[in-house]
Structure 1
Amino acid sequence: MPASMPTETDTFAAAWEDWHAVHEQHRADPHGFLAVTHLHWLDGHAARLDGAPGAWSVENDVVRVVLEAGESLLQDGRELNTAAGATLDFGPIEERGGVNLVSGSTVLELAKRGGAYVVRPRNPQNGLLRDYRGTPSYAPDPAFAVGGTFVPFKAPRPTTVGAAVEGIQHVYEAPGEIRFQLDGQELTLTAFNGHAPGTLSVLFTDATSGKTTYAANRSLTVAPAVDGTVRLDFNRAVNLPCAYTDLATCPLPPAENRLAVAIEAGEQIPYERQARS
């Protein structure tokens, strides 16, 4: 008997499987967020940090690192200094920007979050990364891939949102909102600029949050066409780093993006978070 032709649902599921495999590969990068071992907040007092050489401090928007004899840091493959008492200065760094420094097999992420400076060592031997076994997800369902319209604001709106760690806030520029229908309801989501040119990022929660999906947030990337039409494939809604580790500073959704409908699509609560519940 001739082999049956794949159905539209089969093709949709296969495309999702390919996409999610690439996403999982990126998430398990040896120096990705699963490799973060510590979250160090810097202040004006020089302090040695677990997982990093030197004594670190920040003053007037400049981070200073004082190395001892035998300690070194690399930046872009170049050794900065190994002399005893060497002083290195970095900054100022833009909000949500950062610098990667290397110490042995560890990458040190020096970044600015919520107006404060942080250092996050990323070690490939971190247990969270070493034991990672993938993320559970809903089976792909074309019913949760819907069309919508991106409606730009007259001017981008600065939008302040909370963070996964207490004490800081994030400010994003929202260029507009996305209007769509799901489960017979008219819905709207405020969109932020995405990482890639021409994309938008949507942070949201829904009626599954805290039940089958991570309570604080999920993220969906979309790419509006020139005429504003957009496809929201919630099967590709993903967890942010804070779903896996408490060493993340992820933003929370704006209040208007807390949807009452159940979006039973996309990534679910990670195994790592389930184990701590």
Structure 2
Amino acid sequence: MVSAPVPARDPQLARWQRFRSNRDAALASPHGWLTLTSLQWLPDSPAALDGVPGLWWTDGERAFVEAAAEDGLSLASGDGVSGDGVSDGGRPAPAVGRLNARLADEESLMWVQYGGEDGRQVLVELAVRGGRYAVRTRDDGSPVFTGFSGVPVFDYRPELVVTARYEPFAEPRPVPIRTANPLVDGTHVSSGELVFTLPGADTEYRLQAEEEKLGALVITFHDASNGVSTDEWRKLETARPRPDGTVILDFNRAINYPSAFTDFGTCPAPVPGNALPVAVEAGERIPR
């Protein structure tokens, strides 16, 4: 059960508390990141997977599952699915017979579900990562999920709300990166650099950023607190740069990737060099 913070009188602190409440509530949602319990790569011929009903495989282009009525699978979504199982007006339908789906790299599909009193406890996510099909189970009975009471965080530090200068590249630069899964490689599309200093030092730091929808920026970074009080890396999102090219970096809003909570994430690591030599003890701490 996630508890609500005591309202603050400081407007900046109050906004951060609302951010934290929304963040914890999102993580506490059913079949969210805290419910991941497995990741299994699909074989090239029909085979059973650990703990998942039915037979699963891929021909390299599509993924397949074949299930009998006694397997207890039902459709979680009709999108991108063809075969004997159908969805009637968006309502779950039994997944009986052979289903198949095609996804592009980095896409996911919440495909079928099973278990529990209503047959919905475990959601099976089909995904393509690194050009390979995999399934991940999202189990609302996971102890990580049922025991969640909020992400541990540092106390709010107003001095770690800093102004940065955004220097966009002439063209976005694809940068090969590793991910939380050693079998999956990733690519960071760097759109520019955020240039800033931290309190108490004149050193100018530069971190590469990736542009998201509507011009917002996200940075994935290491710092000297990693492995001590924080996870191996974290990320921080900013608003769209102002007309003068500045943005606000609020390190109190640095958050963990899903891989900090589960062994089954494929989250992107920072680009080489996106590392601060100082400990940024703000934002989310090691959650487990």
**What range describes the TM-score normalised by the shorter chain of this pair?**
0.7 to 0.9
2:190 counterpart of 1:189: no
Q: Equivalents in 2 of 1:32, 1:259: separation in Å?
A: 30
SS at match of 1:20: helix
- Given that 2:216 and 2:241 are in contact with CA atoms closer than 8 Å, whether structure 1 keeps it comes out as no
Q: Equivalents in 1 of 2:56, 2:280: separation in Å?
A: 44
- Map residues 246-261 of structure 1 onto 2, 5 A cutoff: 246-261=263-278
Determine the structure 2 residue equivalent to 1:99. Answer: 109
Cα offset for 1:193?
A: 3.0
Which of residues 249, 264, 273 in structure 1 aligns to 2:281?
A: 264
Determine the structure 2 residue equivalent to 1:90. Answer: 101
Q: Which amino acid aligns with 1:49?
A: L
Determine the structure 1 residue equivalent to 2:237. Answer: 221
Q: Equivalents in 1 of 2:107, 2:208: separation in Å?
A: 23
Cα offset for 1:69?
A: 3.1
2:248 counterpart of 1:231: yes
Cα offset for 1:224?
A: 2.4
Q: Equivalents in 1 of 2:205, 2:233: separation in Å?
A: 17
- Given that 2:207 and 2:274 are in contact with CA atoms closer than 8 Å, whether structure 1 keeps it comes out as yes
Query: How does the TM-score come out when normalised to structure 1?
Result: 0.87
2:187 counterpart of 1:206: no
The count of aligned residue pairs is 259
- For structure 1, the residue ranges without an aligned partner over 5 or more in a row are 1-5, 273-277
2:173 counterpart of 1:157: yes
- Given that 1:219 and 1:238 are in contact with CA atoms closer than 8 Å, whether structure 2 keeps it comes out as yes
Query: How does the TM-score come out when normalised to structure 2?
Result: 0.84
- Residue by residue over 1:173-208, the C-alpha shift from the partner in whole angstroms, topping out at 9 and shown as x without a partner, is 1111111111322011111233x4322211101111
- Given that 1:12 and 1:140 are in contact with CA atoms closer than 8 Å, whether structure 2 keeps it comes out as no
Determine the structure 1 residue equivalent to 2:31. Answer: 31
The CA RMSD measured in Å over matched residues stands at 1.8
- Given that 2:252 and 2:283 are in contact with CA atoms closer than 8 Å, whether structure 1 keeps it comes out as yes
- For structure 2, the residue ranges without an aligned partner over 5 or more in a row are 1-7, 79-89, 114-118
The verdict on how the C-alpha distance between 1:125 and 1:81 changes in structure 2, with shifts beyond 3 A counting, is closer
